[in-house]
Amino acid sequence: MIRIPRHRSRALILLVATGLLLASCSATDTTGTGSDRAAPGPGTGHLHGLGVDPADGTVYAAGHHGVFRLEGSTATRVADRYQDTMGFTVSGPSTFLASGHPSPAESGTRSAHLGLFRSTDAGRTWQTVSAEGEADFHALEEAGDALYGFDSLSERVWASADGGRTWDKRAKVAALDLASHPVSAATVWAATGTGLARSDDGARTFRPVSPAPGLVAVEEPEPGRLLAFTADGRLVASGDGRTWTEQGRLPADGEGRVLTAVTTQRLLAADSTDAIYESVDGGRTWKLLHRPAAASDHP
């Protein structure tokens, strides 16, 4: 498995008004840092996923108001698309997988649940792969030839062996995030907010990992190296999911909510204010990449 971004998302209701989106869709929406550039549109909204395109090293962020690429400290919406992008992962050069909901402008013309869709041009265009009207994946995790998705509608982990064209509906688990073992695709972790669950049979069954802190995001960038955000905002590391040591914290008031391990040392994170950070030392120190110009639209 190529150790490129594996991204996550959280379920929230899209709150922006249809009229505002329609009025702003004719221009490229950019969101600068709070001190340098204000957004003419609604900005990224609540962030669900982060990733790096191996084609050119660009950082991408997926949120309530579409997919954005980071250009310096500015987040620029890709292709003026406003779909609420929930589950999100970069699966290869310029190739993204996502799930979510249509924009308000498309309300009534498409299913409220978009299933799995794919872009092969870095988010400019998207094609439906499967499960439109059936699934709303809030986490997508590639593991070698396997693809796992946590469907918020059924609260089950779905598994695919053909890139998401067909699915097997597997265990029910209260997952906020999924991670997979870098070598053994059958080992899957689920961060549940109150703890951690593990599957060794390809998400057919999960068992609680005890003791484990309440985790909201989890990654396993190399075998035996788990990284996670706790519910109280700490970045922690573990070799077995039971014993954890604190690695660091994001340098702001917002608590870590989205975590992507590009490598063991290079991490991307978004906090509860939708600021985006990068670490190149395994989470011990962080650099601010982007801060939204205005308060986020989520509770």
As given in the structure block, the two tokens for residue 208 are 């609680």
Q: Is the pLDDT of residue 122 over 70?
A: yes
How much is the pLDDT for 80? 77
Q: Kindly state the greatest CA–CA separation across the chain.
A: 52
Whether 13 is in a domain gets the answer: no
Block residue for tokens 């395109």: 53
Tens of pLDDT, residues 28-57? 445 554 332 333 346 888 999 999 999 999
Average of per-residue pLDDT across 99-112: 76
Identify the residue whose tokens are 């308000």.
Answer: 104
Q: What is the domain count for the chain?
A: 1
Instruction: For 141-188, write each residue's pLDDT tens digit.
Output: 999 899 999 999 999 999 999 999 999 999 999 999 999 999 999 999
* Two tokens, residue 67: 């997919």
Instruction: Write the Ramachandran bin of 131: left for phi over 0, alpha for psi from -120 to 50, otherwise beta.
Output: left
CA 49 to chain centre: 2
CB 85 within 8 A of CB 69: no
Residue with tokens 């906090």, as numbered in its chain = 271
DSSP β-bridge partners for residue 249: 234
Residue 10 domain flag: no
Structure tokens at 89: 């992962």
- Which of 13-17, 85-89, 268-272 is least confident? 13-17
Query: In percent, how much of the chain has pLDDT > 90?
Result: 73
Task: Check whether 214 has a pLDDT greater than 80.
Answer: yes
Task: Examine residue 4 and state whether it is found in any structural domain, yes or no.
Answer: no
Identify the domain containing residue 101 by its residue range: 18-290
pLDDT surpassing 80 at residue 21: no
Hey, what amino acid is at 77?
A: R
Assigned domain for 107 exists: yes
For residue 243, what are the contacts with CB-CB under 8 A and spacing of at least 6?
Answer: none
**Domain of residue 172, CATH code:** 2.130.10.10
Asked whether 207 and 198 are in contact (CB, 8 A), the reply is yes
Does 7 fall in a domain? no
- Asked whether residue 8 is domain-assigned, the answer is no
Share of the chain above pLDDT 70, in %: 82
Q: Which two tokens stand for residue 198?
A: 């593990």
Residue 267 lies in a domain: yes
Q: Is residue 50 part of a domain?
A: yes
Between CA 235 and CA 284 the distance in angstroms is 9
Least confident of 10-14, 49-53, 199-203, 225-229: 10-14
**Three-class DSSP labels, the chain:** CCCCCCCECCCCCCCCCHHHHHHHCCCCCEECCCCCCCCCCCCCCCEEEEEECCCCCCEEEEECCEEEEEECCEEEECCCCCCEEEEEEEEECCEEEEEEECCHHHECCECCCCCEEEECCCCCCCEEEECCCCCCEEEEEEECCEEEEEECCCCEEEEECCCCCCCEEEEECCCCEEEECCCCCCCEEEECCCCEEEECCCCCCCEECCCCCCEEEEEEEECCEEEEEECCCEEEEECCCCCEEEEEECCCCCCEEEEEECCCCCEEEEECCCCEEEECCCCCCCEEEECCCCCCCCC
Average pLDDT over residues 210-220: 96
Measured in residues, the chain has a length of 299
CA 137-142-148 angle, 5° bins: 40
